[in-house]
């Protein structure tokens, strides 16, 4: 079973899935709203995939902006389209929100209401609540097209079934007698836990800002070390336990563990997706080398690839760490979209944000500004000061404060951030719609931006 498929079957409760199926059958469009990690994306993927199989010739499209829907609908009138976390772009490019909703309304009238395409949207609950009143003009964001998914709708029985499915999927079993780890590995690689663990998880796992119940269960079952320290999770919470876990990992004296932690940091600074080729590529290889130096870790990232065979051999050596290091595998899974060279993705976007925040706390904003890709800086980071109400044109939203889970840059780092963005432009990096970015809507950042020499990028800005 593919990793994506395996992950899907352990998240979705039958009640939620049945509701989603019914809404999609009747209205041909549905918006799934819920906290990070509650199973929105997996519900959308399984729903669309199964419907595509049933309909035969239908094709599934996975997108991230509303503007892409109309273009697909014009060319494929039998399409199933998922727009995942669609709000993300418009929080960073707020002036593009209203044109995008107009486009969506046209799509609804011409293609959805006319029974041509199926559309599934997902949105994170905190971001949804922030701009909810701006969406009333679009029928797709109101009942009966709206389905909320969060832990409040999960019954105790539903949560228990979810944990049991995770245990089955990850070969975890409850046992009266204690069994040491060596014996466990001899028996189908089964991990044994104390009797009553399932009920303890159901009763004691608390909803946290970035980690909802299904996601915490999934990440714990992925990570044997966390599974064996459940008492700490119950006592201190998942986020604090995960922080301690990263502290231990980053301070490990074993070079392979140290290097695997550097790869985790590297993957987060790339935006959550990584290939072993990135460790030695011309641009990203230098970034990886700097990270290894920062964490006092030896690196082979500076080895030049003279021949194709040498390059392949180096990639194989680097890939081995991704495949064999249990800590790294608990955070990254191998995606099916990697061709030629494998591709590894964070278990969930919440984990990416958590690692970025962890890096900021331990290494500071300047380290992130220097090393993260421009996409991460522009689409996962925020500024410390509130934004004027002109951003969303509503007095109710006079302070779009820091986004949950985002890396916050304080004012003293505005200059290096602006200089980094400018340097990328000078190097030919294209920043689409930069003039509409929320950074430039902030007067203090705009003042810093205008203070540096941007004359040679006027055509972009």
Helix (H) or strand (E) holding 53: helix 40-55
| Residue 386 pLDDT | 53
Residue 314 C-alpha from the chain's centroid? 29
**CA-based R_g, the chain, Å:** 23
| Residue 201 pLDDT | 95
Three-class DSSP labels, 177-213:
CCCCHHHHHHCCCCEEEECCHHHHHHHHCCCCCCCCH
| Upper half-sphere CA count for residue 131 (Cβ side, 13 Å) | 29
| Residue 125 pLDDT | 87
Phi-psi label, residue 364: left if phi above 0, alpha if psi -120 to 50, beta otherwise: left
| Residue 447 pLDDT | 93
Helix (H) or strand (E) holding 31: strand 29-34
Question: Buried b / exposed e across 253-292, counting CB within 10 Å, b at 16+?
Answer: eeeebbbbbbbbbbbbbbbbbbbbbbbbeeebbebbbbbb
Neighbours of 89 (CB within 10 A): 19
Question: Please, are residues 194 and 174 in contact by the beta-carbon 8 Å criterion?
Answer: yes
C-alpha distances (whole Å) from 258 to each of 228, 255, 322 are 22, 5, 13
Structure tokens at 147: 């389905």
| Residue 400 pLDDT | 44
User: Tens digit of pLDDT per residue, the chain (461 long)?
Assistant: 344 444 545 555 667 778 888 888 888 899 999 888 888 888 888 888 887 877 777 888 998 888 888 889 888 888 899 999 999 888 899 888 888 888 888 888 888 887 788 999 999 888 888 888 888 878 888 888 888 887 777 888 888 988 998 998 889 999 876 555 544 444 457 889 999 999 999 999 988 878 888 899 999 998 989 999 999 999 999 999 999 999 999 999 998 899 999 999 999 999 999 999 899 888 899 999 999 999 988 645 444 333 333 445 555 666 778 888 989 999 998 887 656 678 899 988 889 999 999 999 999 999 999 999 999 999 999 888 654 334 444 444 334 445 556 789 999 999 999 999 999 998 888 888 899 999 998 889 999 999 997 665 555 44
At 123, is the secondary structure helix, strand, or coil?
strand
Q: What is the DSSP string of 273-310?
A: EE-GGGGTSHHHHHHHHHHHHHTT----TT----SHHH
Residue 99 is given by DSSP the state H
C-alpha distances (whole Å) from 194 to each of 39, 165, 181, 247 are 27, 17, 13, 26
| Residue 392 pLDDT | 45
| Residue 387 pLDDT | 44
| Residue 123 pLDDT | 92
- The whole-model pTM stands at 0.85
Q: What angle do CA 428, 433, 436 make, to 5 degrees?
A: 135
Beta strands at 332-335 and 343-346: parallel, antiparallel or unpaired: antiparallel
Phi-psi label, residue 191: left if phi above 0, alpha if psi -120 to 50, beta otherwise: beta
| Residue 12 pLDDT | 58
Helix (H) or strand (E) holding 343: strand 343-346
């Amino acid at each position: 079973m593919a990793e994506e498929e395996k992950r899907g079957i352990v998240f979705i409760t039958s009640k939620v899935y049945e509701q989603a199926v019914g809404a999609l059958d009747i209205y041909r469009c549905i918006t799934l709203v819920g906290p990070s990690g509650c199973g929105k994306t997996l519900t959308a993927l399984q729903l669309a995939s199964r419907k595509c199989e049933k309909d035969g010739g239908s094709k599934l499209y996975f997108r991230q902006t509303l503007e892409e829907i109309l273009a697909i609908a014009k060319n494929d009138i039998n399409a199933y389209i998922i727009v995942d976390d669609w709000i993300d772009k418009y929080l960073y490019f707020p002036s593009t929100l209203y044109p995008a909703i107009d486009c969506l309304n046209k799509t609804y009238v011409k293609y959805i209401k006319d029974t041509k395409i199926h559309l599934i949207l997902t949105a994170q609950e905190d971001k949804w609540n922030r701009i909810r009143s701006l969406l009333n003009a679009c029928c797709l964001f109101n009942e009966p097209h709206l389905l909320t998914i969060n832990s409040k709708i999960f019954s105790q029985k539903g949560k228990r079934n979810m944990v049991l499915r995770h245990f089955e999927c990850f070969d975890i079993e409850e046992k009266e007698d204690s069994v040491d780890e060596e014996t466990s590995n001899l028996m189908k690689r089964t991990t044994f836990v104390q009797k009553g663990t399932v009920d303890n998880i159901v009763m004691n796992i608390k909803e946290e800002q970035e980690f909802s119940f299904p996601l915490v269960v999934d990440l714990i079952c992925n990570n044997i070390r966390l599974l064996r320290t459940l008492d700490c999770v119950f006592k201190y919470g998942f986020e604090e336990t995960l922080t301690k876990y990263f502290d231990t990992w980053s301070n490990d004296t074993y070079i392979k563990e140290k290097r695997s932690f550097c790869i985790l940091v590297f993957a987060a600074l790339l935006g959550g997706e990584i290939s072993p080729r990135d460790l030695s590529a011309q641009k990203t290889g230098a970034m990886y080398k700097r990270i290894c130096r920062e964490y006092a870790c030896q690196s082979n990232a500076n080895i030049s690839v003279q021949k194709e065979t040498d390059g392949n051999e180096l990639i194989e050596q680097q890939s081995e760490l991704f495949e064999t290091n249990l800590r790294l595998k608990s955070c990254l899974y191998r995606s099916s979209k990697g061709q030629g060279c494998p591709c590894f993705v964070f278990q969930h976007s919440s984990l990416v944000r958590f690692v970025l925040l962890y890096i900021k706390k331990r290494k500071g904003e300047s380290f992130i500004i220097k090393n993260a890709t421009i996409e991460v800086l522009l689409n996962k980071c925020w500024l410390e000061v509130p934004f004027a109400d002109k951003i969303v044109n509503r007095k109710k939203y006079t302070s779009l404060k820091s986004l949950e889970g985002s890396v916050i840059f304080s004012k003293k780092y505005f200059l290096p951030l602006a200089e980094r963005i400018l340097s990328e432009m000078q190097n030919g990096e294209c920043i689409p719609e930069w003039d509409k970015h929320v950074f430039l809507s902030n007067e203090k950042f705009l003042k810093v931006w205008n203070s540096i020499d941007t004359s040679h990028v006027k055509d972009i800005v």
